[in-house]
Amino acid sequence: MKPTVIPHAAYQHFVMEQLHARYGRAILFVNADWPLVLKCWQTDLSGVTTQLRTTYSNRGPEPRDPASMLRSYLVYLFTNPEKGLTEWVNIMQRTPIYAILSGFSPDDIPGLGTFYDFFRRLWPVADKNIKPNKQPKKKKKQKPKNKKGEKAPMKPGKVQRLVTWVLRSIDVHVELPGDRLFHFFETNILSVSKELGLLGDADHLSIAGDGTPLVTQAYRRSKATCDCRARGITGCNHHRYYSQPDCDPGWDSSRERYFNGYHLYMFTAADSPHDLPVYPRLQPASRHDAVSLVASSVEFQQRFTLGTTRRMILDAAHDAQAIYELLIHQEIEPFIDLNTRSKTNIETGSDIEISPEGIPICPKGTKMKPNGYDKARHRRKWRCPPDCGCSDAKYGRTYYTRTQDDPRLFPNTPRDSKAWELIYNTRTSSERTNKREKVDYHLESGRHQSTMMWYMRIYGIMICQHLDAWYVSQKEEWDLLKKDICPAAA
């Protein structure tokens, strides 16, 4: 039968009743437990029950409350993220307060299979992975010849071809398996953070994007689908069965080693004082940041309904002309650091050249100085002083650049301006978000073999990050709730 939507007030009454019945009204909890108690007490997750009701049958026994299942998973990520779900069931049996905060009676805790049944309802496709398990045999990749800290090289023109294809079909909305997760996350979590003012200007978001390696296993596991080896045939090219078909080997530039897993590309609210994540995308580990940005940007723009994206703040790995074209087409102002791969100047139709940093150079080889912005004609003025000798004019040589001529070299907000520096400095919010997910919440400790479960873990951690921000931003108000839950503990 379909689950009953339990109001959040009923959950709060249940928690208070259970805590008083099991521990007494005068219990003194360890002070470290109070943030967890208050986060669960204040977070209304009944929306997941409403969203998933259609996935349950009209017949059969009454199912577990989906809101309680999700809440239990969040308590698990808050307290024991480095352990597995099997151990979490055992922990709830040994630690009744965790079961109570989840919404379960300590004498009636769901089993492991119930958790996985709940996760399947948040993943609307039959396969737990995006790609089929049977794939052609993968070739071993060569170690990139690049300096430490540099991204693995990418084939020339790949981003341009991808953007050209995307712009032809940008209005086509393709359903993704993670859409149901994002819908709940947006309507029940992001919307609350927006109301609390924790996303910055949520109506006109500034987004910071960055990718990070997500290691899932030591090496790529597969088994043969043929009997060539038994017949003494070596080096056959038949398809193999891969346990994690969506993963592949990728280069970790910071550690200078290959890893097997995903490339997690994360969008973060750059103006958020708490570095809050807004949209995740799992890509193969071998995928470059620039390619991941193209896919993630289009998907996010099609799905985010709480406002618009005003700025996209990215590092030099995204410095490609095609990415500027895509973002401008989406009416997003790009803030991308220059990747000065070329050391030669760019020729123009006059005797002026442009440096790789976008600065005009006069015929004498002197870099010209910025001399204001002409708002009426949307162009920037550059000037070479008279003592340079490159012009007979009293005022000196002048030159104008326009964003529409080359948005990469001449962005709307000049790179040498204070405004650009202040905005670009917020890009590090994406790095802090990735750090919290991988270090504080032990993202890579998950021993999952499906993309479905990795998305569950990522979205669960993202929700925890938002709940942390809610608690910090309202700590004084939330601490007053101690008197309601347990007067002696206040």
Q: Where are the beta strands (DSSP E) in 45-149?
A: 134-135
Q: At CA 277, angle to CA 308 and CA 88, rounded to 5?
A: 145
Q: Which long-range contacts (CB under 8 A, 24 or more apart) does 421-428 make?
A: 423/206, 423/270, 423/311, 423/313, 423/335, 424/313, 424/335, 424/337, 426/206, 426/208, 426/270, 426/271, 426/313, 427/208, 427/210, 427/270, 427/313, 427/314, 427/315, 427/335, 428/208
Could you tell me the two tokens for 377?
A: 């004609």
- Are 123 and 183 a contacting pair, CB within 8 Å? no
Could you tell me the two tokens for 306?
A: 């709480």
Q: At CA 454, angle to CA 433 and CA 272, rounded to 5?
A: 20
pLDDT at 378: 80
- Per-residue pLDDT for 375 more than 90? no
pLDDT at 353: 86
pLDDT at 187: 96
| Rounded-to-integer distance, Cα 490 and Cα 479, Å | 8
| Rounded-to-integer distance, Cα 289 and Cα 41, Å | 39
Number of separate helices (H) and strands (E) present in the chain: 17, 15
Q: Where are the beta strands (DSSP E) in 86-184?
A: 134-135
Q: Mean pLDDT across the stretch 74-93?
A: 94
Q: Give residue 174's region: left, alpha or beta (phi > 0; psi -120 to 50).
A: beta
- Are 302 and 197 a contacting pair, CB within 8 Å? no
Could you tell me the two tokens for 272?
A: 């958020």
Could you tell me the two tokens for 264?
A: 């997690």
Which has more pLDDT, 67 or 395? 67
The label of the residue with tokens 């609350």 reads: 192
Position 136 confidence tier, pLDDT thresholds 50, 70, 90? confident
Radius of gyration of the chain (CA): 27
Look over the chain and give the mean of its residue pLDDT values, rounded to a whole number. Answer: 88
Per 3-state DSSP, the chain is made up of helix, strand and coil in percentages (nearest 5) of: 40, 15, 45
What tens digit of pLDDT does each residue of 214-268 get? 999 877 888 888 888 888 887 788 888 988 999 988 888 777 788 899 999 999 9
Q: Where are the beta strands (DSSP E) in 185-344?
A: 204-217, 222-224, 240-242, 248-252, 257-269, 277-284, 308-314, 333-336
Position 484 confidence tier, pLDDT thresholds 50, 70, 90? low
Position 13 confidence tier, pLDDT thresholds 50, 70, 90? very high
Q: Mean pLDDT across the stretch 355-367?
A: 85
Segment (H or E) for 86:
helix 85-94
- Per-residue pLDDT for 488 more than 60? no
| Rounded-to-integer distance, Cα 304 and Cα 54, Å | 23
- Per-residue pLDDT for 165 more than 60? yes
pLDDT at 153: 61
Query: What percent of the chain clears pLDDT 70, i.e. is strictly above it?
Result: 91
Where do runs of H (alpha helix) occur along 260-288? none
| Rounded-to-integer distance, Cα 421 and Cα 435, Å | 23
Position 178 confidence tier, pLDDT thresholds 50, 70, 90? very high
| Rounded-to-integer distance, Cα 268 and Cα 279, Å | 7
Which has more pLDDT, 123 or 148? 123
Segment (H or E) for 160:
helix 158-168
β-strands 308-314, 204-217: how paired?
parallel
Question: How is the chain split into domains, by residue range?
Answer: 8-121, 134-338+424-454, 346-410
Q: Structure pTM?
A: 0.91
Sheet of 346-347, strands arranged across? 346-347, 353-354, 360-361
Q: Mean pLDDT across the stretch 282-287?
A: 91
Among 118, 119, 137, 136, smallest CA distance to 128 is for 119
> What's the first-to-final CA gap in the chain, in angstroms?
42
pLDDT at 29: 54
Phi, then psi, of 251 in degrees rounded to 5: -100, 120
